[in-house]
């Protein structure tokens, strides 16, 4: 435990990996110099066991209930667009104004993905709205780039676009029916949790991620 060694195989969504994990990997390896880190970043859903991963960070709800889950935080999300898009297409205040193709929605999609619905908070409780758009991508940062260019409305975690909201490059829409927060957590098997290097990596990153998400 004092001198863990070996290779860790970690997976994370692109935004989480780029902003919250990758910057701290060198610090972790300086503290634990006998551990090598293999970080795989993808927004697609991964199979932790089949892909030989020790830990998988994720946003959302896991499908495999046989894995252990360590919750990190609830991440606030917003629907956002560039001022240029709003000037041209209007400023929707509710999900009903976005529903069923009334606005160009920028969607994260992979092969075999189902039709898109955004779950928003309404006065009557959570409700799913059908959304459509001309652009889709499997890289969440591309959706942000498209939104910045005025191409449409994107659903994004606040921690990923906070600087753009502060500068005014992106503004929130659907303020009367905002998106529900999304869970940030990590998955691991019981066996992996007993591995000192996996446990140490998880604790090390969670401590730093919590502060970044809540800031």
C-alpha span between 205 and 72 (Å, rounded): 10
Position 111 scores a pLDDT of 61
User: Of residues 214 and 127, which shows the higher confidence score?
Assistant: 127
* Least-confidence region, from 16-30, 44-58, 157-171: 44-58
Bridge partners of residue 126, in order along the sequence: 121
What average pLDDT does this structure show over 93-105? 93
Q: Which stretches does DSSP call E strand in 64-135?
A: 68-75, 77-81, 105-108, 117-122, 125-130
Which tens digits make up the pLDDT trace of 26-84?
999 999 999 999 999 988 888 888 888 999 999 887 765 678 889 999 999 999 999 99
Position 33 scores a pLDDT of 94
Domain limits for position 17:
6-74+182-214
Q: What is the CATH number of the domain that holds 36?
A: 3.40.190.10
Q: Do 63 and 119 lie in a common domain?
A: no
Position 65 scores a pLDDT of 63
Which tens digits make up the pLDDT trace of 104-137?
999 988 665 555 789 999 999 999 999 999 989 9
Give the count of domains, the chain. Answer: 2
Residues 6 or more apart in contact with residue 205 via CB below 8 angstroms: 20, 21, 24, 28, 57
Answer whether residue 1 is part of any domain: no
Confidence band of 204 (pLDDT split at 50, 70, 90): very high
Model pTM score = 0.86
Q: Do 84 and 67 lie in a common domain?
A: no
The angle that helices 158-167 and 140-148 make with each other, rounded to 10 degrees, is: 10
């Amino acid at each position: 435990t004092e001198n863990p060694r070996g290779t860790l195989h970690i997976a994370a969504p692109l935004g989480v990996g780029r902003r919250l994990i990758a910057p701290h990997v060198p610090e972790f390896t300086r503290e634990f110099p006998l551990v090598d880190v293999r970080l795989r970043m993808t927004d697609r859903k991964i199979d932790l066991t089949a892909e030989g991963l020790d830990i998988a960070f994720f946003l959302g709800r896991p499908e495999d209930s046989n894995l252990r889950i360590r919750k990190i935080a609830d991440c606030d999300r917003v629907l956002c667009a560039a001022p240029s898009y709003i000037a041209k297409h209007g400023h929707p205040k509710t999900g009903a104004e976005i529903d069923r193709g009334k606005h160009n929605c920028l969607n994260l999609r992979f092969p075999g993905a189902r039709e898109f619905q955004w779950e928003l908070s309404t006065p009557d409780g959570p409700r799913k709205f059908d959304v459509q758009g001309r652009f889709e991508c499997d890289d969440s940062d591309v959706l942000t780039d498209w939104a910045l260019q005025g191409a449409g409305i994107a659903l994004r975690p606040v921690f990923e676009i906070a600087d753009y909201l502060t500068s005014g490059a992106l503004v929130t829409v659907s303020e009367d029916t905002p998106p529900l927060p999304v869970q940030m957590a990590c998955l691991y098997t019981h066996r992996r949790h007993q591995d000192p290097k996996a446990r140490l990596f998880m604790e090390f990153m969670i401590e730093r991620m919590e502060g970044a998400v809540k800031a």
